């Protein structure tokens, strides 16, 4: 199973925000969306999540067009985390993570809600703050809570028998270096169990290290897609970012000064 777009475009204010997008997001794979600000990464992710409808072309979840999935079915197939989160009242971290558990019967299977919440909180080092108000946490802490919620929405303990996907728009933008690497490793671990993850990342070295597949966007069009080695080349990055960028191989390193 997968999330697939075919010849998809999106027009905003009578201009193409995205044009002719063909990509496939697979289970058991980290796909990184890379490109300059305004290249259409977040818009693409909103389209894939089903927040907005494409102007042309189509999006399929598995073999079925996205429009035919109702909201609650979509919620069990994919989760999405956007960049900004403002929670209106003093909900506790535990309550926020629980909000992600959208389908009791499937995920619980003899395990209580609290066990699921506890497991996920442990992965994100949130156990100690479970009963604190989310608004009392730092920006990075809040971001980890929302990530934990997005994972709770699709999480399966052993292997991902049903196809599940996560769409994450700059999930580590507020995290320090250590938490950023830990978080990405943790996601990588879920991906090994069969989860499909799409990330928007600005750090090209982290992208090179963690992504199985890289999609490079510029002005709403896909410039190149493939493995990190194939896509993150000095020529294409220099062309896309308009900045002289060096790439050295083995291990892949991207430098620009």
Partner 1 sequence: MRIYQHLKPRQISILAILGVVSMVTVILSLLFGAFSIPVLKIFSGSATPLQIEILSQIRGPRVILTLFVGAALGISGAALQGLFRNPLADPGLIGVSAGAALGAVLAIIFSTNFLPNMSLGVYAVPLSATVGAGVVIALLFILTRGFTQAGVTYMLLVGIAVNALATVGIGLLTFISTDSQLRGLTFWLMGSFGGARWSLIIPAILVISLAIGCMLAYSRRLDLMQLGENEARRLGVNVSRVKIIIILSSAFMIGASVSLSGIIGFVGLVVPHLVRLIGGPNHTYLLVGSALLGSGIMVVADLTSRIVIQPAELPVGLATSALGAPFFLWLVLRLKKS
Residues that bind partner 1 (CB under 8 A): 49-51, 71-76, 79-80, 82, 85-92, 95-96, 98-100, 102-104, 113, 153
Nearest alpha-carbon partner for 99 in 82, 117, 77: 117
44, containing H or E segment: helix 41-49
C-beta closer to partner 1: residue 71 or 178: 71
- Cα–Cα distance measured from residue 102 to residue 75, given in angstroms and rounded to the nearest whole number: 7
Smallest separation (angstroms) from partner 1 to the CB of 11: 20
C-beta closer to partner 1: residue 101 or 247: 101
Upper half-sphere CA count for residue 104 (Cβ side, 13 Å): 3
- Cα–Cα distance measured from residue 27 to residue 65, given in angstroms and rounded to the nearest whole number: 18
Smallest separation (angstroms) from partner 1 to the CB of 167: 9
Are 201 and 168 in contact by the 8 Å Cβ rule? The answer is: no
At 51, list the tokens. Answer: 């927040």
C-beta closer to partner 1: residue 51 or 162: 51
Report the first-to-last Cα separation within the chain, whole angstroms. 42
C-beta closer to partner 1: residue 90 or 230: 90
Smallest separation (angstroms) from partner 1 to the CB of 199: 17
Are 89 and 177 in contact by the 8 Å Cβ rule? The answer is: no
From the number of C-beta atoms within 10 Å of its C-beta (0-12, 13-18, 19+), residue 53 rates as: exposed
Smallest separation (angstroms) from partner 1 to the CB of 86: 7
Smallest separation (angstroms) from partner 1 to the CB of 81: 8
- Cα–Cα distance measured from residue 146 to residue 158, given in angstroms and rounded to the nearest whole number: 22
Smallest separation (angstroms) from partner 1 to the CB of 44: 15
C-beta closer to partner 1: residue 107 or 208: 107
C-beta closer to partner 1: residue 13 or 249: 13
């Amino acid at each position: 199973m997968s999330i697939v777009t075919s010849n998809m475009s999106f027009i905003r204010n009578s201009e193409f925000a995205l044009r002719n997008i063909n990509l496939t997001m697979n289970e058991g794979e980290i796909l990184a969306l890379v490109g300059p600000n305004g290249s259409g990464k977040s818009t693409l992710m909103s389209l894939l999540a089903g927040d907005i409808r494409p102007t042309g072309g189509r999006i399929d979840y598995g073999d079925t067009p996205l429009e035919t999935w109702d909201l609650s079915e979509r919620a069990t197939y994919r989760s999405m985390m956007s960049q900004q989160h403002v929670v209106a009242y003093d909900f506790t971290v535990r309550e926020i993570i629980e909000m992600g558990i959208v389908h009791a019967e499937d995920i619980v299977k003899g395990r209580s809600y609290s066990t699921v919440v506890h497991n996920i909180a442990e992965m994100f080092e949130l156990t100690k703050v479970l009963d604190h108000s989310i608004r009392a946490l730092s920006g990075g802490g809040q971001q980890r809570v929302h990530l934990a919620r997005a994972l709770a929405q699709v999480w399966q303990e052993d292997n991902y028998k049903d196809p599940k996907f996560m769409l994450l728009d700059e999930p580590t933008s507020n995290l320090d270096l250590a938490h950023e690497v830990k978080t990405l490793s943790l996601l990588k671990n879920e991906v090994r169990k069969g989860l499909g993850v799409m990330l928007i990342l600005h750090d090209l070295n982290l992208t090179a290290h963690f992504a199985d597949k890289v999609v490079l966007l510029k002005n709403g069009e896909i410039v190149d897609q493939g493995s990190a080695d194939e896509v993150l080349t000095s020529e294409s990055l220099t062309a896309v970012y308009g900045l002289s960028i060096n790439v050295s191989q083995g291990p892949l390193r991207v430098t620009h000064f």
